[in-house]
Each structure stands twice: as structure tokens, then as C-alpha cells.
């Protein structure tokens, strides 16, 4: 009897903890308001949001073309590119070229002066020391753009917003994520599961992080309150180690979270360069993600003949934009 009662109490405790974890999102009030909601003219029902900078224009062009060609339900979806002169610059010429590749692309300039400084972009190591410029590279536009992406939280007009990195390639339609009801849906951190097994689906514990290369935000997770909370967390040194990924994992640690299968954000990682060789991957993924230094493998002719390398360059060539990929 005592054993049975003990088991019942433990089960009840777990249930209560789960309910606490999945409580409705409520952003704390703050005396400092950095920015309000971001208004988009004539918004559709959903949005896909990214950033592209001039120094990565070749890769960004391939991403947008693949998105335009593969994403379903386009009449319901706005594609939005966030840019900020001096932080995440995109020239007028490049902007026009991208709009030709992705008709209807909305390029929105955001003001970062109220929240983004050299001080709060600097990252720190585990001992609390500022990282050297050789390790951090925080001055590069493509690195600063990670913080510009936080403005996705201000897009509260939409029922669902998907934030995507531009070092990705869309292989298959992923518009089914717009039908999910969770606060956020994303792929967990770490190397992808090569067998695409289904156990990666389901609510995850806060201790397991998610990769911010592909995140679907429900309207309940959006708004100026979410954005200002993110910037408050950004002021804390420990919340910038992985830039936007660290910040978003922190503020959504207790959100109603769904872990998507790795097919939605299949990370081609430098730790496994042979992943470029696996033709079967192209038949099973929705989005390829060339993380970290793997991007440079796309510039190495030695990889020619590998299925994923060849597939990528077939798309990139059709953009008509040189494959510019600079530090």
C-alpha cells in the first residue's frame, strides 16, 4: 500500500511539474522598453523570416530561390528579410536581385541603435573573459545579423512565424509546421539522427536545447514583451555564447516546445564531412543546414561529385548571383 501510494505521489509530482513547465507564456514587465511590435504592411497569415548580408549574398540567394520553389501555401505566407545598415547591411542592388529570385520578398529595415552595442555583442568564455577577435569575429556582418534576427519576436501580426538561417537549402515543403499548436517547434541541438527516427518528435525537457536555424513561433510566443525580454537577457554575459541561439533557448526554456524531426533542419556538420556524400539524405530531408565552417566545404572543388555538394551548386548556379561567401 505504501509503495503504491509512493508511486502515485511521484506520478502526481511529475504531472504538476509538467503543468508548471507548460504554463502559458507571460513575459515579465520591464521598465526599459527597447522597441515595440514590428508592423508589416498587408500581412498574410504566416511568415518565414531570415537575414542575408552582402558578404554572404551567394549563399542567401540559393536559400531564397529554394524557399520560393519548394515552400507550399505561398498565398498564405510572407517571406521577410530583416536588415540593418551598419549591422546587417544589404545593398540596394543585392536586395533587388533577391526580390527577383523570390517574388513578393519583403525587405524590412530594423533599427538596432536602441539595443545593439559593441559591448553587448562581445562574447565571453567559460571563465568570464572576453573572447579574442580571432575567436569571436563579432564585427562581421554575418555575425551581427544573428542579433538582428531577434526582431522576429516583434512580428505579432502573424499566426505563426518560422525563423530560418540563410545558410540553408530548402529541399522539400515544410509548410505543415504552420498547423502546429505549440509555442515553439524546432530541432534539438547536436548532430542529426541519420535514420530520421520518430522519437525526436515530442515535447522536450528544458535541459535539451534547440537549434535556432529553424524555429516555428506561435503567435502566443511573439510580441514586444518577448523581444524586450530577449534584449534584457542579452545584457547578461552568459546569454551570448551562441548569440541568438543562447538567448532564445534561455527565454523559451519553459515554453510549450515541440522537437521536430531532424529532417526540418538537417545539419551538415564539419565533424562528419562525408555527410555531403549521402545521396539518400536528399530523399528524406526538408531543409539542409550548412552549419559553422561546413560552408567552406561548398567552395572546395574537391567535394565535386558528392551528391549534396552537386545538388547545392545546381541550385546556386540558377540564381545567377556569384557564390560570394566571405568571412
Specify the pLDDT at position 296: 83
From the number of C-beta atoms within 10 Å of its C-beta (0-12, 13-18, 19+), residue 108 rates as middle
Specify the pLDDT at position 16: 40
CB 249 within 8 A of CB 241: no
State how far the alpha carbon of 30 is from the alpha carbons of 218, 227, 231, 267, 283, in Å.
22, 11, 11, 36, 47
Which of these, 75, 58, 252, 89, lies nearest to 169 by C-alpha position?
58
Specify the pLDDT at position 20: 40
Specify the pLDDT at position 202: 42
Check residue 65 and report its DSSP letter.
Answer: H
Q: 214 φ, ψ to 5°? A: -145, 110
Specify the pLDDT at position 146: 78
Question: What's domain 46-318's superfamily in CATH?
Answer: Spore Coat Polysaccharide Biosynthesis Protein SpsA; Chain A (3.90.550.10)
Q: What is the C-alpha separation between 271 and 265, in angstroms, rounded?
A: 16
pTM beyond cutoff 0.75: yes
Specify the pLDDT at position 193: 59
Give the residue ranges of DSSP H helices in 77-219.
92-101, 118-121, 133-136, 141-148
CB 130 within 8 A of CB 13: no
Specify the pLDDT at position 21: 45
Specify the pLDDT at position 189: 75
Q: 235 φ, ψ to 5°? A: -70, -20
Specify the pLDDT at position 122: 67
Q: Which are the contacts of 312, defined by CB distance < 8 A and separation ≥ 6?
A: 62, 169, 288, 290, 298
Specify the pLDDT at position 317: 97
Local mean pLDDT, 10-residue blocks, the chain (327 residues): 50 45 55 72 95 93 98 97 88 96 95 73 63 51 72 94 96 96 86 52 55 92 85 66 72 85 84 67 90 82 88 96 81
Pull the grid cell for residue 14.
511529475
Residue reference for cell 551548386: 313
Q: What is the C-alpha separation between 49 and 51, in angstroms, rounded?
A: 7
**What is the residue extent of each domain of the chain?**
46-318
Specify the pLDDT at position 203: 45
Q: What is the C-alpha separation between 277 and 304, in angstroms, rounded?
A: 10
State how far the alpha carbon of 254 is from the alpha carbons of 6, 78, 132, 248, 258, in Å.
27, 28, 33, 11, 12
Amino acid at each position: 500500500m505504501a509503495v503504491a501510494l509512493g508511486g502515485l505521489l511521484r506520478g502526481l509530482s511529475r504531472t504538476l511539474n509538467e503543468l508548471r513547465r507548460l504554463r502559458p507564456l507571460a513575459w515579465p514587465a520591464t521598465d526599459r522598453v527597447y522597441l515595440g511590435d514590428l508592423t508589416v504592411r498587408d500581412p498574410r497569415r504566416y511568415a518565414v523570416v531570415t537575414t542575408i548580408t552582402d558578404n554572404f549574398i551567394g549563399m542567401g540567394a540559393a536559400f531564397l530561390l529554394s524557399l520560393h520553389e519548394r515552400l507550399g501555401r505561398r498565398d498564405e505566407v510572407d517571406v521577410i528579410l530583416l536588415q540593418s545598415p551598419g549591422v546587417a547591411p544589404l545593398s540596394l542592388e543585392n536586395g533587388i536581385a533577391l526580390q527577383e529570385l523570390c517574388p513578393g520578398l519583403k525587405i524590412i529595415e530594423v533599427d538596432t541603435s536602441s539595443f545593439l552595442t559593441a559591448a553587448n555583442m562581445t562574447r565571453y568564455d567559460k571563465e568570464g573573459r572576453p573572447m579574442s577577435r580571432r575567436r569571436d569575429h563579432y564585427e562581421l556582418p554575418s555575425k551581427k545579423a544573428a542579433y538582428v534576427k531577434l526582431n522576429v519576436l516583434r512580428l505579432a501580426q502573424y499566426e505563426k512565424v518560422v525563423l530560418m538561417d540563410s545558410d540553408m537549402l530548402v529541399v522539400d515543403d515544410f509548410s505543415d509546421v504552420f498547423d502546429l499548436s505549440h509555442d515553439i517547434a524546432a530541432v534539438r541541438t547536436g548532430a542529426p539522427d541519420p535514420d530520421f527516427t520518430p522519437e525526436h518528435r515530442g515535447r522536450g525537457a528544458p535541459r535539451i536545447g534547440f537549434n535556432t536555424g529553424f524555429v516555428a513561433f506561435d503567435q502566443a510566443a511573439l510580441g514586444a514583451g518577448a523581444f524586450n525580454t530577449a534584449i534584457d537577457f542579452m545584457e547578461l554575459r552568459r546569454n551570448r555564447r551562441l548569440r541568438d541561439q543562447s538567448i532564445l533557448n534561455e527565454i523559451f526554456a519553459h515554453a510549450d516546445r515541440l522537437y521536430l524531426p531532424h529532417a526540418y533542419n538537417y545539419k551538415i556538420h564539419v565533424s562528419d564531412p562525408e555527410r555531403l556524400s549521402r545521396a539518400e539524405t536528399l530523399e528524406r530531408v526538408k531543409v539542409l543546414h550548412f552549419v559553422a565552417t561546413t560552408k567552406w566545404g561548398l567552395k572546395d572543388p574537391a567535394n565535386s561529385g558528392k551528391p549534396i555538394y552537386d545538388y547545392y551548386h545546381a541550385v546556386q548556379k540558377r540564381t545567377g548571383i556569384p557564390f560570394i561567401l566571405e568571412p
